[in-house]
A and B are shown apart, each in its own frame.
Chain A
Amino acid sequence: MSDRILVATRKGLFTFERKGPAAKPWTITHTDFFGDNVSMVLHDARHGHIHAALDHGHFGVKMHRADEATRVWEELPAPAYPPKPEGLEENDMWGRPLPWSTVRIWALETGGSDEPGTLWCGTIPGGLFKSDDSGATWRIVESLWHHPDRPKWMGGGADLPGLHAIEVDPRNSAIVRVGVSTGGMWQTDDGGASWRVRGKGLRAEYTPPEQAHDPISQDVHALAQCAGEPDRLWIQHHNGIFHSEDGGETWREIEDVGVSTFGFAVKVHPKDGKTAWFVPAIKDEKRVPEGGRFVVTRTQDGGRTFETLSRGLPAEHAYDLVYRHALDIDGTGRRLAMGSTTGGVWVSEDGGESWIEAAGRLPPVYCVRFMAS
């Protein structure tokens, strides 16, 4: 059971701890990078490190790392793209040169338990980076960046393509799945030496009909793999919810979800791959809770049925949207936490049945992570 939560926001990194009174158990105990845009945060329990990605706007993307005990932050080199070859013409959707430069850190994950120094980092405009020394240095994963299909990736969640989800297979650290908006789900079986796109059964409804099942056209919003049942994966997609029972080879679209199939976040139970949580919103031009009623949905049977969970959540005039990294679950599967675009943070200690408001007026929340004990 995790008693600490990191919340990365537009104006700083906040740490919540469960040490308050029963009526309001979660309280902010640390504020780091006050006023700065913290786009991503990661707790690496293997080393007691906290990694924070900052986007200074003018001055670019920066990476910082602290020991969780001292909270003394050190700036480390951010992932940087290799020199763009002279004469290479590669444009974005508007015909402007695609920047070979880190625009945003959009995913940050630890490697497997047998790779103590390994970190993976996904970025906009689509580059995947790997570190073998806990973030002291980074190198781009050339095999994916130079894959002949990579230039087909498009903007989706942002103007430029972005690699926002990284799942290291718990059975074999060399198997890594990544999600791209927009570029589908990609998998390496050899630690990043080679890649293939997967996603049979994913469906896009924003493309010409003949491209609806093109795996590269799929706008994966979030990807979640069950640690205890790694063949069970979930995708929250731009126009639907999909579940795989075979490690991502094939996907089943789930349409009857009670509220809406649109959303950004999904989390799966760490042991039971049939149980997953979503935070729905009106698709996709609106992107607010239906009827101003903020709810979470949960399936416990692999998507056959869904429950709408609302106890403790605002029931009217709530316009909170939960971004793709702003829902988390702890190692027990009982505690969940989420943060919204309008600065609400809620924690559930009963698998989503009920929620406690931990904060109501934070800056827009980009990432929520439990700190493993």
Chain B
Amino acid sequence: MMPKVVFAPALQRHVTLPPVKVEGATVRAALDAALDGNQRARHYILDDQSALRKHMLIFVDGVRVADRRLLSDPVGPASEIYVLQSLSGG
């Protein structure tokens, strides 16, 4: 079992990011693995300091992540991580 990362449909207009299963015990680790080698996509989700962009959200198993800066929230082997745009920022 590995956590699954799913990216919002709105992102797909700019960067193609299909759902992916990756290793990782934290949101940061899973996201780093999912975006490995894709610097361009990374900048659509994370800001210059690698924090979650102001108007982006990440949910882990239905719960919004608390640590937007370090993304240290834990994820389990069966977790589903959703990377979404927030309603603000449009």
Q: How far is the CA of A56 from the CA of B13 in the complex (A)?
A: 12
Asked if B56 and A58 make an inter-chain contact with CB atoms under 8 angstroms apart, the answer reads: yes
Answer yes or no: B21 CB below 8 A from chain A CBs.
no
Q: How far is the CA of A101 from the CA of B43 in the complex (A)?
A: 11
Q: How far is the CA of A358 from the CA of B34 in the complex (A)?
A: 47
Known A81-B49, A101-B48: A58·B90 in contact at CB below 8 Å: yes
What's the dominant secondary structure at chain A's contact region? Answer: loop
Answer yes or no: A90 CB below 8 A from chain B CBs.
no
Interface centre among B10, B43, B53, B86 (most CB of A within 10 A): B43
Select which of B40, B49, B89, B90 is within 8 A of A83 by beta carbon: B49
Asked if B49 and A84 make an inter-chain contact with CB atoms under 8 angstroms apart, the answer reads: yes
For window 61-101 of A, CB contacts with B under 8 Å fall at 62, 75, 77-78, 80-81, 83-84, 99-101
Q: How far is the CA of A99 from the CA of B46 in the complex (A)?
A: 13
Interface residues on A, range: 10 to 19
Asked if B53 and A59 make an inter-chain contact with CB atoms under 8 angstroms apart, the answer reads: yes
Asked if A56 and B14 make an inter-chain contact with CB atoms under 8 angstroms apart, the answer reads: yes
Asked if B43 and A58 make an inter-chain contact with CB atoms under 8 angstroms apart, the answer reads: no
Residues of A within 8 A of B39 (CB): 77
Asked if B48 and A59 make an inter-chain contact with CB atoms under 8 angstroms apart, the answer reads: no
Minimum CB–CB distance for A59 against chain B, Å: 4
Give the B-binding residues of A (Cβ under 8 A).
Answer: 56-60, 62, 75, 77-78, 80-81, 83-84, 99-102
Give the A-binding residues of B (Cβ under 8 A).
Answer: 10-11, 14, 39-40, 43-45, 47-49, 51, 53, 55-56, 85-86, 89-90
